Amino acid sequence: MYEDRIRRPALMNKLMSAEKAALLFKDGMTVGMSGFTRAGDAKALPLALVERSRQSPLHLTLLTGASLGNDSDGLMANAGVVARRMPFQADAALRRKINSGEVMFIDQHLSETAEQLRSGDLKAIDIAVIEAVAITPDGGIIPTMSVGNTANFAQQADKVIVEINLSAPLALEGFHDIYVPGNRPHRGAIPLLTPWQRMGWTSIPVHPDRIAAIVITDSPDSPSNALPPDDETDAIARHVITFLEGEVKAGRMDPSLRPLQAGIGTIANAVLHGLIDSPFRNMTMYSEVLQDSAIELLDSGQLSMASASSITLSAAMHEKFIHNLEKYRERIVLRPQEISNHPEVVRRLGIIALNTALEYDIYGNVNSTHVGGTHMMNGIGGSGDFARNGQLSIFVSKSVAKDGAISSVVPFVAHVDHTEHDVDVVVSEWGLADLRGLAPRERAPLIIENCAHPDYRPQLRAYFEEAKQGGGQTPHVLEKALSWHARYKREGSMLVK
């Protein structure tokens, strides 16, 4: 039994229940788990750790690739198992614990965690928990629907627990390209010159002696929770497509564009979906997550291939995907997030980075993470890796949130994730502002007139006019710069009555 999944017979004696494997954990440990935007996360150990914590307290520092599925983040947070969490999350219960100050959340560029672990800047991983399709005869771990940081966790951890997921098809073998850069300061360039290149192994090499437990599971990944496109996201997609058509006409790109990156969530997925009605052909993706829209574009033939660190799909698309793996095998590469998001590679390939903002200001600074300037939403994820280093950094957002009570275009963002220096284009359903080569005083009118909701334009114009009275490269009325956020808190709307 399981011979096709545990191909090193000597490891059969490591088979055990999740409850027994949970006894390997000690209070205060640093744990690295697989999982990236709900894909490829460990399914059994999070629940077993919650149970285990009922017997004796367990407060862990939990590192992952990105967010976990199956409510694992929330369940572990509510049980007090997660004391510290990095580098990303997207769970409502964990978010509450973070915002109440009970869980310390380190919101980090997703390319950086592995680098900091390797450099010893972070506490070393004690135990790695990795979901796998199978273990190869030499102990290599074949990941499932994501790679994330698992190669780095497995390399560093004292002990490795492998969750073999029987619901993950064996045909996933061969999708992964595991490449781990060497140590600084003498390492060479990452030898990746095209999005489709493979340069590593198809499994994560681990010395079999370090595999401390093997647990069998069979539940699938949680489906994506991105909502379907709507009129506003369709309009945003049309503005982005018209802009990119202009880039092609101007001779700055050919109709295959540059490799595309698209951020998580409803809006980025919907914009990418909109590319189905575009004239672009032979496009490639070099992204961190593939959502339904990427598979649709592969199916339509407009996308020739896609490279990412995880695949997060709706239930229907997941069904279709896993039953047609042979069709996608040559066209999808799954890499460690350190490589999918690496600044060196993103800069070299000239990525078009498409990410979502919660809000942006009249000069082009972007807040992707902090609601009202204080409360964590999800985290910066890979948006900074791509925005800072891509050829074109595009941020999209609907012009208003909460039925118009919040303007997504504000005088000054209440938290800055992406500075005006890293942002080339901002878009809403009303239009697009191309900020390249523009000074702050030139940016403001363009953003106000093209992107802000018409209800908020008079207020924004008035702010900018008043700010200019005080002079400066980037004019502001400091005492009013955050007054919109304060008004929303006080009166329930940013709109002046």
Q: Give the residue ranges of the annotated binding site for CoA.
A: 378, 382, 402
* One of 140, 143, 148, 265 touching ligand COA (CB under 6 A): 265
Q: How far is the C-alpha of 143 from the C-alpha of 352, rounded, in Å? A: 28
Complex with ligand COA: residue 400 or 435, whichever CB lies closer:
400
Closer to ligand COA by CB, 163 or 288: give it.
Answer: 288
CA–CA gap between residue 399 and residue 360 (Å, rounded):
10
Question: Residue 100: which residues within 8 A CB-CB, separation 6 or more?
Answer: none
Asked if residue 356 binds ligand COA (CB under 6 A), the reply is yes
In this structure, are residues 153 and 185 in contact, taking their beta carbons and an 8 Å threshold?
A: no
Respond yes or no: is residue 19 known to be catalytic: no
Please, which residue, 220 or 379, has the CB nearer to ligand COA? 379
Q: To which H or E segment does residue 62 belong?
A: strand 60-63
* Binding status of residue 263 toward ligand COA by CB under 6 A: yes
Residue with tokens 């499932």: 144
Write out the binding residues for ligand COA, residues 419-478 only, by CB under 6 A.
none
Q: Looking at 288, 359, 420, 429, which residue is catalytic?
A: 288
Region 393-412 residues binding ligand COA, contact defined as CB under 6 A: 398, 401-402, 406, 408
Q: Note whether 288 binds ligand COA by CB under 6 A.
A: yes
As measured in angstroms, the least distance from the Cβ of 226 to ligand COA is 7
Nearer to ligand COA, 40 or 139 (CB): 40
Residue 74 within binding range of ligand COA, rule CB under 6 A? no
Shortest CB 369 distance to ligand COA, Å: 6
Which stretches of 307-369 are DSSP H helices? Answer: 315-322, 325-329, 337-340, 343-349
Q: State the chain's maximal CA–CA distance in angstroms.
A: 77
Q: Which of 105, 160, 102 is nearest to 130 (CA)?
A: 160
CA of 252: how far to CAs of 119, 194, 257, 284, 346, in Å? 39, 19, 9, 17, 18
Q: Shortest approach of ligand COA to residue 488 CB, angstroms?
A: 8
Would you give the DSSP letter of residue 172? G
Question: Tokens in use for 334?
Answer: 């799954």
| Binding-residue total with ligand COA (CB under 6 A) | 24
Cα–Cα distance, 232 to 236 (Å, whole number)? 6
Q: Is 312 in the site for ligand COA (CB under 6 A)?
A: no
Q: Does 49 bind ligand COA (CB under 6 A)?
A: no
Q: Residues forming the annotated binding site?
A: 378, 382, 402
Other C-beta atoms within 10 Å of 176: how many? 27
Name which of 325 and 401 has its Cβ closer to ligand COA.
401
Buried b (16+ CB within 10 A) or exposed e, 444-464: bebbbebbbbeebbebbbebb
Among 82, 192, 257, 289, binds ligand COA (CB under 6 A): 289
CA gap 290, 69 in Å, rounded: 16
Taking residues 361 to 400 in sequence order and writing x for each that binds ligand COA by CB under 6 A, - otherwise, the string is -------x--x-----xx-xxxx--------------x--
Contact between 61 and ligand COA (CB under 6 A)?
Answer: no
Catalytic residue list: 288
Residues in touch with ligand COA (CB under 6 A): 263-267, 288-289, 355-356, 358-359, 368, 371, 377-378, 380-383, 398, 401-402, 406, 408
